[in-house]
Amino acid sequence: MSLAPVIRRLGLIEYEPTWRAMQRFTEERGAATPDEIWFLEHPPVFTLGVNASRAHLLSPGAIPVVQVDRGGEVTYHGPGQLVVYPLVDLKRAGVAIRDFVTALERAVVDLAAQFGIRAESRRSAPGVYVDGRKLASLGVRVRRGGSYHGLAVNVALDLTPFRRINPCGYQGLEMTQLIELGGPRTVSACARALEPHLLRALGYLPTAQASARAAAQASAL
């Protein structure tokens, strides 16, 4: 990918206005519009993808539930979770959707490795896992050649709401988070550490440059 993306750090922001903003950006972007990557957190919310079954929404209680247009099943977002929305012109970049998802997973695996955490992806179940527990969830949508939605990395959050659902449609799937594994302890630190890995995985930074940037970010954590 040739054009450097615009990085936006949006803090804690409500889910639905963010979703609508992603849709609007994708509809309005032109052939020369730079890609953007949004780093943020959401207040507590359950979201259901286009193929989600409400049978996996066990006991939402007072937490809002939003039906959205991404792929995948039901998941939870809340404070302490890093949400990353890469708004990428895949058509311009010549990147297939499967390769894009793989790149997002690889960025999180590389982030984990930076902190001595052995993580892996699963082709049959998108996301990133550590010892069978899910560290990061993925769900994307492509429209007019542009991606939106993205990934969510558990950093330091209350994981109990995941017990109110079958995460990503898998009964009994356990979640984990970076603070328990020796990784970054805050969302902002995680965003700084993840950024160079993400830029490299998506092809914005050469490997050597991304590695140097990751080392610099790590020394600042």
Give the dihedral of Cα atoms 112, 162, 102, 212; nearest 10 deg. -30
- Using the CB atoms, write b or e for 180-204: b if 16+ within 10 Å: ebebbeebbbbbbbbbbbbbbbbeb
Annotated catalytic residue: which of 90, 168, 178, 214? Answer: 168
168: annotated active-site residue: yes
Edge to edge, the sheet with strand 45-48 lists: 65-67, 45-48, 74-77
Q: Which of 170, 142, 161 is nearest to 71 (CA)?
A: 142
Give the β-pairing of 133-143 and 6-12: unpaired
Q: Which of 3, 4, 15 is nearest to 150 (CA)?
A: 15
Give the sign of the dihedral formed by CA 24, CA 101, CA 14, CA 161: positive
CA pair distance 94, 189, nearest whole angstrom: 31
**Catalytic residue positions, numbered:** 168
